[in-house]
Amino acid sequence: MPKLKKARLESGIEIVDIGAKGTVIGKKEGRTYLTKDAVPGDVITIEVRKKKKGFLEGRLMEVTTPSPMREEPRCAHFEHCGGCNWQNLQYAEQIRLKDRRVTEQLRRIAGMTDFEALPILGSEEIFNYRNKMEYTFVSSRWLTPEEIATEEDIPDRQAIGFHVPGRFDWVVHIETCHLQRNEHNDMRQFIFERSKSLNIPFYHPREKSGIMRNVLFRNNRKGDWMVLLVVQEHSDEVKTLSKDFIAAFPTLHSLWVIVNEKVNDSFSDCPAELVHGEPHLIETFNRPNNAGSVEYIIGPKSFFQTNSEQAERLYSIIYDFAALSGSEVVYDLYTGTGSIALFVADKAKELVGVEYIPEAIEDAQTNAQMNGVANAKFFAGDMKDVLTPAFIATHGKPDVLITDPPRAGMHADVIDRILEAMPKRVVYVSCDPATQARDIKMMESKYKLIKIQPVDMFPHTSHVENVALLELI
């Protein structure tokens, strides 16, 4: 996208809709504008910086007429953090916009019009809803524009917080985050202050020096907490920090220390040491209609849905859409740790789960054993390579297929295998309605879209999940 030779101010732009990735869409005199940090109903002034065929893009300079749907953000870091780009928009309007976006994308991209659009399932908790948060230590934090403008010397710039969007080396220091239960703020603050008093050096991402790198907080709905300290070196000072932390929070369920000597922050392949408590958390989800419950083991590196309350409701929708009678062979593609598969296993004759990550399959097998599920088999590998005609011939054609792919959607080869196998029903779960609509369009020769159910998993963000039921024509 070409940059304009000279940025210019443009006023009187009315924000009329939301776009992708937290952007908003403005209109003025037939022209379209793209920006961030405004909400529908605002009239704004922007600094136009880029021009592309069809729209102009710029930075918000002033809200000249605030939208009646605006509200004051709860978070003191809202302006700079970037994690909750809709905290300034009333929640009822957030879910209305998400609901409309899902339906519009299915109609525009997939060309679907004859389907039942169930109203979006909003989150009962719009704060403190996450069960996992990760923070980054940095030796020299990002300064706000206001701090830079003062030209005052800030001698201590050590920080713990979130990366500035798009920057690996800039971190916004966080005092209080409202996305996870408040206990995690107390624990994070203790670790931050005690690390400084022990003179444990914080990591410098450009120089690749320092010890304290990240800290993760996980909790279940019972209130058990698992904390992961990610360090460059398990030094004596880190061991002292661990002891002091355990003493300060005696009900802590588990504490892990993970040594990451790599350049990047990914620690899935790094050694982890349990220094206190139990090796995992257990979360319990209840099936609908008193059909029993499922327990999930959550280890330090396990993937698990980050909004437990909404995940349980999401799985109940999948359970209902699958409409199993007990005689079906069910495939669960992109099964992860088998969380959806195990949730529906009580109504399946046989269940086959496929997932790319081998460690996730190990978790799925452990969870199956813990729940006494004997009718589920799990396989690891790239979906397009595993789901072959020979694989389907070996394990039986699916009567019902559940798919929950990553944001990029399904590979065309995977869609071809589904069309060849012709399950009676497909339940398609997606975190990106646009790629879901694209895939549904590719299946229209054999499948009809019956109904959809959007679910808001992440209040105050632009993300939305959607469950779609397709039936064989």
| Residue 471: per-residue pLDDT | 98
Same structural domain, 377 and 414: yes
Sign of CA dihedral 39, 44, 49, 53: positive
- For residue 108, being part of any structural domain is answered with yes
Cβ neighbours of residue 69 closer than 8 Å, sequence gap 6 or more: 39, 40, 41, 89, 90, 93
> Is residue 4 pLDDT above 70, yes or no?
no
| Residue 2: per-residue pLDDT | 52
Same structural domain, 114 and 165: no
| pLDDT tens string 213-269 | 999 999 999 999 999 999 999 999 999 999 999 999 999 999 999 999 998 889 989
Angle at 405 between CA 356 and CA 332, to 5 degrees: 75
Cβ neighbours of residue 176 closer than 8 Å, sequence gap 6 or more: 75, 76, 77, 185
| CATH number for the domain harbouring residue 424 | 3.40.50.150
Same structural domain, 338 and 384: yes
| pLDDT tens string 66-116 | 999 999 999 999 988 878 889 999 999 999 999 999 999 999 999 999 999
Same structural domain, 465 and 323: yes
Same structural domain, 168 and 118: no
- For residue 290, being part of any structural domain is answered with no
Q: Phi and psi of 40, rounded to 5°?
A: -55, 135
Q: Which residue has the tokens 């029993």?
A: 292
Average pLDDT, the chain: 94
Cα distance between residue 366 and residue 101, in whole Å? 38
Instruction: Read off the DSSP letter of residue 158.
Output: -
DSSP-derived secondary structure for 352-368: EEEES-HHHHHHHHHHH
Strand blocks (E) in 343-421: 350-355, 376-380, 400-403
- For residue 43, being part of any structural domain is answered with yes
Domain that holds residue 432: 95-125+307-472
- For residue 78, being part of any structural domain is answered with no
- For residue 199, being part of any structural domain is answered with yes
- Contact 21/7 with Cβ under 8 angstroms? no
Number of domains in the chain: 3
| Residue 1: per-residue pLDDT | 47
Same structural domain, 321 and 465: yes
Sign of CA dihedral 444, 445, 451, 457: negative
Is residue 431 annotated as a catalytic residue, yes or no?
Answer: yes
| CATH number for the domain harbouring residue 258 | 2.40.50.1070
Same structural domain, 22 and 115: no
| pLDDT tens string 159-190 | 999 988 777 788 999 999 999 999 999 999 99
Instruction: Read off the DSSP letter of residue 203.
Output: P
- For residue 296, being part of any structural domain is answered with no
- For residue 289, being part of any structural domain is answered with no
| CATH number for the domain harbouring residue 61 | 2.40.50.140
- For residue 87, being part of any structural domain is answered with no
Same structural domain, 185 and 100: no
Same structural domain, 155 and 237: yes
> Is residue 193 pLDDT above 90, yes or no?
yes
Domain boundary, last residue among 53, 70, 87: 70
The number of C-alpha atoms within 13 Å of 81 and in the hemisphere containing its C-beta is: 25
Cα distance between residue 60 and residue 44, in whole Å? 7
Residue 249 one-letter amino acid: F
Cβ neighbours of residue 301 closer than 8 Å, sequence gap 6 or more: 267, 268, 272, 359
Instruction: Read off the DSSP letter of residue 207.
Output: T
| pLDDT tens string 362-392 | 999 999 999 999 999 999 999 999 999 999 9
Same structural domain, 113 and 181: no
- Contact 108/25 with Cβ under 8 angstroms? no
Q: Which residue has the tokens 């953090």?
A: 81
- Of 27, 15, 103, 29, nearest to 64 by C-alpha is 15
| Residue 3: per-residue pLDDT | 53
Instruction: Determine which one of 75, 81, 84, 431 is catalytic.
Output: 431
> Is residue 152 pLDDT above 90, yes or no?
no
Cα distance between residue 102 and residue 106, in whole Å? 6
- Of 84, 106, 39, nearest to 439 by C-alpha is 106
| Residue 101: per-residue pLDDT | 93
Please return the burial class of 338, using the count of CB atoms within 10 Å of its CB with bins 0-12, 13-18 and 19+. buried
Same structural domain, 379 and 457: yes
- Contact 31/62 with Cβ under 8 angstroms? no
Same structural domain, 101 and 154: no
